[in-house]
Amino acid sequence: GDSVTQMEGPVTLSEEAFLTINCTYTATGYPSLFWYVQYPGEGLQLLLKATKADDKGSNKGFEATYRKETTSFHLEKGSVQVSDSAVYFCALRSYSGGGADGLTFGKGTHLIIQP
């Protein structure tokens, strides 16, 4: 079945540091890939997505590139801020599986940015 593996947290960085949160996946077919973010006390929000190989999703300074050859979708940001502190979820949607609803999530990575 489909699965998403992302680095476990918490990840603690200083403000303005470079961020990478690794995400790899296994899936049948050609999945779409997503990053969701959950800020403290709020619901999940879609951060960015990519729908085919070599696509780059970007939003709020975050980027992730769909790498089919390495089955990865790593999240990056060049200079993090305290306000980026949140839990980040990598997810995929596969047309040929991936759970009962075709959407499979990783376990989430808690990011803590210190001033």
Q: Are 84 and 57 in contact (CB under 8 A)?
A: no
The minimum distance between CB 8 and another protein, in angstroms, equals: 8
DSSP symbol at 72: B
Selected from 10, 12, 18, 46, the binder of another protein by CB under 8 A is 46
Contact between 81 and another protein (CB under 8 A)? no
- Read off the tokens for 96: 């040929």
Q: Pick from 1, 107, 112, 114: which binds another protein (CB under 8 A)? A: 107
Total number of residues binding another protein (CB under 8 A)? 25
69 binds another protein (CB under 8 A): no
Tokens 């790593």, residue located: 74
Q: Does the N-terminal peptide bond of residue 115 adopt cis geometry, omega within 30 degrees of 0? A: no
Written as six digits, the tokens of 110 are 């808690």
Q: Tokens in use for 70?
A: 């390495």
Q: Is residue 28 part of the contact set for another protein (CB under 8 A)?
A: no
Which residues are at the interface with another protein (CB under 8 A)?
A: 4, 32, 36, 38, 41-46, 51, 89, 91, 93, 95, 99-108
